[in-house]
Structure 1
């Protein structure tokens, strides 16, 4: 893996975006892997980011430890752990190009979906069923394992409930912290915690800490509507590029 200015040019913004997501701007984190995958393979990007995510999760748990929904976690987490196992099986058998295609597709679909939903306007609160929650949890665990992009399946289940902001953020923080800590085992099994990966993670930790606290501070003080729209557009552009590049490698 070649690490140069190009790597840090995408890695630093990716970690800042993750920090804002962990601080409360839920959904932005789905941009991190597609952004880093412009410089290194999705597998390497995911390995570098996992230790960073664990640090950010710890900070977020401290801030939102008193606001989370027990029912949602009891439904979503069992499915998520199954999804992580399925993601491990895929990651150990699929090429970088295949994973890049998956990451791009996730990014593209989520960006388009959010833009369409926001144009449609607000909808009434609803509480999806338990079976659907288990399926969404499995989808979140699976996509989180291969791309740290479990947000879309999780949000499909939780967003319609229209939880209070801090409860929604706190539930998201606890859910993905649990998933990320479970992912340590399959990442070790895949041999992704190499000395080089851990060194790169360590160089980005200061950015991770500062951006997470910044996200916690900002989420309670600004209207993020326009910021979200920009991020969704970037997700669509980057997702499309990854699909195009990966499809070429797969066909070749």
Structure 2
């Protein structure tokens, strides 16, 4: 567990962002891996973050356990499983930077489009997207989550235009990514990424992870539904710009 001081200086705010994301401010968590990759390899960073994500998922699912959409999960989770398998099979051939750049571009374009649509008061066609589109985006979400813990944007492209009640959106997101993160464990284990040092560093960061997730839950319940969606779309744009910048750098 002899990580450099720079790692912990980056890891603590990265885990806080993950906690806020798991608490309901979806999208912020996509910044965690690029932040840690400034100090350690992206592969090791992803392995450290996965146990933290799983613990944070427990808090998020428990907090919103009564609010979730079964239809969305039914369409998207099987696709996510396929995406995780594809991510495992092609991990060695896929550039993490390329994945981050693609996810970032999707986040920026979709976030800007939704902000523009809502400002004009127009109804997005995507709100009526059939279930098979959700399955395809589930595959994309599982794949990008397996490669770089960046599964939020594809998930949000399908789910956000449906304008679910705030707590239903947060609960559905929590359950979806809890299932996705557990499904990634065998692949990470098979790739030998869970050594003693990795798990030890993750354990050191758990108090910050749990506290920040509870803070996210507390904060999101005090934001009006209208402002909540505007905040999520704005976060998508900002996070997307950061992901593209990190990928190019």
CA distance, structure 1, for counterparts of residue 109 and residue 134 of structure 2:
22
Deviations along 1:53-100, one digit per CA (max 9) or x if unpaired, are: 010001111111110001110100000000000010122x237xx213
By how many angstroms is 1:111 displaced?
A: 3.5
Partner of 1:99: 96
CA distance, structure 2, for counterparts of residue 227 and residue 135 of structure 1:
22
Q: Of the candidates 236, 239, 244, which is equivalent to residue 243 of structure 2? A: 239
Work out whether 1:152 is the aligned partner of 2:156.
no
Alignment of 1:123-142 (within 5 A): 123-124=122-123, 126-142=127-143
By how many angstroms is 1:147 displaced?
A: 0.9
By how many angstroms is 1:116 displaced?
A: 4.2
By how many angstroms is 1:107 displaced?
A: 2.8
CA distance, structure 1, for counterparts of residue 207 and residue 155 of structure 2:
28
CA distance, structure 1, for counterparts of residue 15 and residue 59 of structure 2:
14
Task: Please provide the CA RMSD for this pair.
Answer: 2.2
CA distance, structure 1, for counterparts of residue 191 and residue 165 of structure 2:
39
Query: SS of the residue aligned with 2:138?
Result: helix
CA distance, structure 1, for counterparts of residue 206 and residue 101 of structure 2:
26
Q: Give the TM-score of the pair, scaled to structure 2.
A: 0.88
Partner of 1:54: 54
Query: SS of the residue aligned with 2:139?
Result: helix
Partner of 1:250: none
Q: Give the TM-score of the pair, scaled to structure 1.
A: 0.87
Work out whether 1:203 is the aligned partner of 2:204.
yes
Q: CA 1:234 to 1:150, structure 2 compared with 1: closer, same or farther past 3 Å?
A: closer
Partner of 1:19: 19
Query: SS of the residue aligned with 2:197?
Result: helix
Partner of 2:216: 215
Query: SS of the residue aligned with 1:124?
Result: coil
Q: CA 1:3 to 1:123, structure 2 compared with 1: closer, same or farther past 3 Å?
A: farther
Q: Does the CA contact (< 8 Å) of 2:111 and 2:236 recur in 1?
A: no
Instruction: Choose 103-112 or 21-30, whichever is displaced more.
Output: 103-112
Structure 2 runs not aligned, ≥5 long = none
Q: CA 1:213 to 1:150, structure 2 compared with 1: closer, same or farther past 3 Å?
A: same
CA distance, structure 2, for counterparts of residue 107 and residue 193 of structure 1:
28
Structure 1 runs not aligned, ≥5 long = 246-252
Deviations along 1:92-121, one digit per CA (max 9) or x if unpaired, are: x237xx213322432344145324432442
Q: Does the CA contact (< 8 Å) of 1:140 and 1:151 recur in 2?
A: yes
CA distance, structure 2, for counterparts of residue 127 and residue 81 of structure 1:
24
CA distance, structure 2, for counterparts of residue 32 and residue 112 of structure 1:
21
Deviations along 1:137-185, one digit per CA (max 9) or x if unpaired, are: 1011001111111111111111111111111111000000001011110
